[in-house]
Amino acid sequence: MKIGILGGGQLARMMAQAGLPLGGEFIFLDPKADACAGQLGRLVTADWEDESALAKLSECDRVTCDFENVPATVLERLADSGHPVRPAANAFAAAQDRLTEKRLFESLGIEVAPFAAVSGRTDLLEALDRIGYPAVLKTRRMGYDGKGQYLLRAQEDLESAWSALGDHELILEGWVDFDFECAITVVRNALGEMRCYPLSRTVHADGMLRLAAAPANVDVGLGERAQACGRMLAEHLDYVGCLTLELFVAGERILGNEFAPRVHNSAHWTIEGAVCSQFENHIRAVCDLPLGSTALRAPALMFNWIGEMPSKTGLLPVPDLHWHDYGKQPRPGRKVGHATLLAETWPALLPVALDLREDLPQPLDRLLDDLVSM
């Protein structure tokens, strides 16, 4: 089966790595000529809306995405011309606008932080009167990995925040004093069959995911509620493929933060840590193949490599550590690879991870402390 992927980054690359053994062939469309997935298939370099480039996807049996900001209108055009696009454009339209996303969560009964649309200074002041400080001012569109956000701690932050973001349509969200963050990944096929991966505990720095641990070791009831939220969202969207819902946990409460209509960084550990990875299950769902098991093989801890790959010298000798280099050129803030550490139990895994501190790039060495209490 020939599969077209809009986006040619590491997510597309890992989908292709999972799909090639299933007999898949891949065409990638990406604006960047050095898109790393191009090593595993045919790379078409063009803007998302380039008609001649989109026409090259006409030979594909299925079309999917590795990037949530592919314009939903492009996916609608592909679907209208007879291309089976999975997941469908409606999921991308919902995820691409933070205001639409928050309203969707509310409509489904998923608790969220207080929020308000901001189209001008008056809106912002009125929203702050209602929501209070601290709060986070965000662009409604094109915000990911901490981009397009400004934390408002007090009135003194208003001018600099407005100077940075005031040219955009915005949303103000109340600050969530959370205990920790987690993410639930759901896979659903066209027949409506759904499976959930174990909940991941996630740790961020500067708006980017740096660590993901599974299973999250939370109260059974909380885990079941997180799964219910993910399932409800996938069902509502009539979703096909893998979807990840990111959540805040504050005491007994779980609050929806955002969702990604694609395979997701927080579930990279599934390549080695689950029976069937999120990447393989996404391809299975998109191509109408039977879903694979989402069961845990072993407790897992994923390290995200940002900017440049660390030295292999102190890390590769570690038993059951699995290395992933995305083949990207180093650049500040760029996701260039990850590694996943496995062990028979979490108590056995944590000391090994802590022993790696000296070989881990900052801030991973100190962020490990956030997982010690798991």
- Which domains are assigned to the chain? 2-85 (3.40.50.20), 114-174 (3.30.1490.20), 180-371 (3.30.470.20)
Q: Which of 206, 205, 200, 207 is nearest to 181 (CA)?
A: 200
Strands of the sheet with 135-139, listed across from one edge: 115-118, 170-174, 135-139, 149-152
pTM of model > 0.85: yes
pLDDT digits (tens, 9 = 90+) for 93-102: 999 999 999 9
Contacts of 193 (CB under 8 A, 6+ apart): 291
Is pLDDT of 374 > 80? no
Q: Where are the beta strands (DSSP E) in 97-199?
A: 115-118, 135-139, 149-152, 170-174, 180-188, 194-196
Pairwise CA distance, residues 29 & 85, whole Å: 14
Cβ atoms within 10 Å, residue 315:
16
Pairwise CA distance, residues 227 & 230, whole Å: 5
pLDDT digits (tens, 9 = 90+) for 293-338: 999 999 999 999 999 999 999 999 999 999 999 999 999 999 999 9
User: How long is the chain?
Assistant: 374
pLDDT digits (tens, 9 = 90+) for 100-134: 999 999 999 999 999 999 988 888 899 999 999 99
pLDDT digits (tens, 9 = 90+) for 23-44: 999 999 999 999 999 999 999 9
pLDDT digits (tens, 9 = 90+) for 264-273: 999 999 999 9
Q: What type of residue is 357?
A: R
Judge whether 29 and 4 are in contact, CB under 8 Å. Answer: yes
